[in-house]
Amino acid sequence: MGVGIEVINLNAWYGTNHTLQDINLNIPANHATALIGPSGCGKSTFVRCLNRMHETNPIARVTGTVRIGELDIYEDSKPVEVRRRVGMVFQRPNPFPTMSIYDNVAAGLKLNGFSNRRVLNEIVEKSLKNSALWDEVKDDLKKKSGASLSGGQQQRLCIARALAVDPEVLLMDEPASALDPVSTSKIEDLIFQLKTQYTIVIVTHNMQQAARVAEKTGFFLNGRMVEFDSTHKIFTNPSDKRTEDYITGRFG
């Protein structure tokens, strides 16, 4: 089951660059939340702070509190533990090129020392079914490399890989921006199904996509969160002038 995310006074820096300023919001459990805003506004940095992926960059620094469910991820936990609970799907599909489809999905478990073959088989099948890829790959699981799939299939493989470690939250950083329209709509259908089981946070440049998949939407601008509300409200009657300007295409 998904859990809610509570962000209190989050600030982030890359070197001396203050990329996130005083972010406060509550992301509801088992819903999809979209983050929109022009390039460089901090939305990708923000989702990276939710699973401490920003720490892979040595010049990044964060203050503030992030709670995933009951867990204060900066106080009570280590990055590897946080990342097992908060899965991530990246902008470009990034399957492990030397691994089979099966091993790609099983990677998160295998690399953390899990080796029960029967359980692995079940988890791989379940994850691929959950990511709507099973029927397309079930005959080539161990024969084909993850890199041999099409771009859209690769992205669903990456989603399956993230689901296999059984996270509570799934972060998606522009998951469809490198895909064609058909693959994009498959990913969106998937988000619809997945949000019954997981809390989903999706960064997107595509405002129609945000409107289609998300119940809540946050608008980021210059490292600040300008507005956070129900998607319907954001797109029909935003409270802030800047939000209105952005969604009507006046900048960004």
Partner 1 sequence: MKAGENKLRSKVRALADGVATGLAILSTALVVAPLLIIFGYLVYKGASSLNLDFFTQIPKPEGETGGGMANAIVGSGVVLGLASLIGIPIGIGSGIYLAEFGRGTKLAETVRFTADVLNGVPSIVMGMAVYALVVSPAMPFSALSGGLALGIMMIPTVCRTTEEMLLMVPHAVREAALGLGVPNWRSVLSITVKTASPGIITGCMLAFARVAGETAPLIFTAFGNAFWSISLFRPIAALPLSIYIYANSPYEDQHRQAWAGALVLIILIVAAVSLVRWVTSRGVLKGAS
According to the binding rule CB under 8 A, does residue 90 interact with partner 1?
Answer: yes
Contact map string, positions 180 to 219, toward partner 1, x by CB under 8 A: ----------------------------------------
- Give the nearest distance from C-beta 76 to partner 1 in angstroms: 16
Residue closer to partner 1 (CB basis): 151 or 208: 151
Query: Which of 17, 24, 76, 111 lies at the binding interface for partner 1 (CB under 8 A)?
Result: 111
According to the binding rule CB under 8 A, does residue 161 interact with partner 1?
Answer: yes
According to the binding rule CB under 8 A, does residue 96 interact with partner 1?
Answer: yes
Concatenate the DSSP letters of all residues of 75-131 into one string.
TS--HHHHHHHEEEE-SS----TTSBHHHHHHHHHHTTT---HHHHHHHHHHHHHHT
Reference 127, options 162, 171, 100, 95; nearest CA is 162
From the list 2-10, 38-46, 147-155, 231-239, the region that binds partner 1 by CB under 8 A is 147-155
What are the φ and ψ backbone dihedral angles of 238, each rounded to 5 degrees?
-65, 145
Reference 86, options 162, 31, 9; nearest CA is 162
According to the binding rule CB under 8 A, does residue 94 interact with partner 1?
Answer: yes
Tell me how crowded residue 52 is: count the other CB atoms within 10 A of its CB.
21
Cβ–Cβ under 8 Å, residues 89 and 203: no
Binding-residue total with partner 1 (CB under 8 A)? 35
- What residues make contact with partner 1 under the rule CB under 8 A? 51, 53, 56, 80-85, 87-88, 90, 92, 94-100, 107-108, 111-112, 140, 143-145, 147-149, 158, 161-162, 165
